[in-house]
Amino acid sequence: MAQVIINRLKKTFPPPTKDGDPVVAIGDISLEVEGNVFVSIVGPSGCGKSTLLNILSGVETPTSGTVSVTEGGRAAHLGYVFQDARLLPWRTVMDNMLYVRDDGDAGETKATRYLDMVGLSHTHDMFPGQLSGGMQQRVGIARAFSVEPDLLLMDEPFSHLDAITARSLRDHLQELWSATRKTVLFVTHDVVEAVQLSDRIIVLAPGGRIFDDISIDLPHPRRATDPKVATLQAEILGRFEEMHPAPATA
């Protein structure tokens, strides 16, 4: 249950070619998120979604503006699920789980419990290369939950997966989230997915600005086939069409 405060955040990257312009990844974002909420960030490709999560997790630094991620006054613990699984290929599944913990072997029980929750306790001693892409992604999810973070960052965790695996993982995620109730920032370009999972949807426009901020008041867990969910999905997709995202400049 963390508190995230983003104040007039800007991020530009150096120009990709010698005489080009700097790339504006985030134009100007101010945002506050607090409590046990599931917040989705949606928007077209290149509008700075991953960059935002990277700044929140300390992987990138802001060009200007500030971010603070706290939990009761101290810096919040983070879990991060990436677009790709990002496991160390030279360590077994369990060793990958233990790598992000500081309690050594003592953490093994906890790590095992979360591996179990994603249905992968039998892969304990396997190397990531022995698992399918979907299984690796599940280990990545278990790893993020196992550090029992105050804030969970997820960057299109299901976008590389087939529809069936993605659907079952989405259900999994809802279960896990209901059981643990933490603050989640979930990046996706799938509006349908966002509506099913979140309490609040932040829509980013190209150039890294907030285009829309939508609350969704339906009880969890939600089924993708629930008619109420489907109606909302259609409505929000309609709003999206107003945005007319320009194709990313080459």
Site residues (vs another protein, CB under 8 A): 54, 57-59, 78-80, 82, 84, 86, 88-91, 99-100, 119, 127-130, 132-133, 135, 147, 153, 164-165, 168
User: Which SS3 state, helix, strand or coil, does residue 89 take?
Assistant: coil
Q: How many CB atoms lie within 10 A of CB 95?
A: 15
Q: How far apart are CA 100 and CA 112, in angstroms?
A: 14
Q: Assess contact for 140 and 82: CB atoms under 8 A.
A: yes
119 binds, among ligand ATP, another protein, Mg ion, none (CB under 5 to 8 A by kind): another protein
Q: Is 189 in the site for ligand ATP (CB under 6 A)?
A: yes
Q: How many CB atoms lie within 10 A of CB 70?
A: 15
User: Which SS3 state, helix, strand or coil, does residue 139 take?
Assistant: helix
Minimum distance from CB of 123 to another protein (Å)? 10
Minimum distance from CB of 43 to ligand ATP (Å)? 6
User: What is the footprint of ligand ATP within residues 47-76 (CB under 6 A)?
Assistant: 47-51
User: What is the footprint of ligand ATP within residues 25-44 (CB under 6 A)?
Assistant: 25
Task: Residue 2: name the closest of 180, 197, 246 by CA.
Answer: 180
Residue 136 or 233: which CB sits closer to another protein?
Answer: 136
Minimum distance from CB of 42 to ligand ATP (Å)? 9
The one among 7, 8, 13, 68 contacting ligand ATP by CB under 6 A? 13
Expressed in angstroms, the distance from the first to the final Cα of the chain is 40
